[in-house]
Amino acid sequence: MTMIDQTANIANAGVNAGFMGLNPMFLILSVITMGLGLITQWWIKRTFNRFSHVPTASGLTGAQVAQRVLQAKGIAAPVGATGTSKDSVGITPIKGVLTDNYKPRKGVVSLSEPVYGVNSISSTAVAAHEAGHAGQTAQRYFWGELRTRLVPAVNFGSQAAGVLIMMGFFTAITGLLWLGIIFFALSVLFQLVTLPVEFNASARALNTLTANGLLTPEEVPGARKVLQAAALTYLASAMISVLYLLFYITMARRR
Which residues participate in catalysis according to the annotation?
130
Q: How far apart are CA 158 and CA 161, in angstroms?
A: 5
In 3D, which of 148, 232, 220 has the Cα closest to residue 195?
Answer: 232
Q: How far apart are CA 116 and CA 94, in angstroms?
A: 8
Q: How far apart are CA 220 and CA 231, in angstroms?
A: 16
**222 within 8 A of 54, measured Cβ to Cβ:** yes
The letter for the amino acid at 29 is L
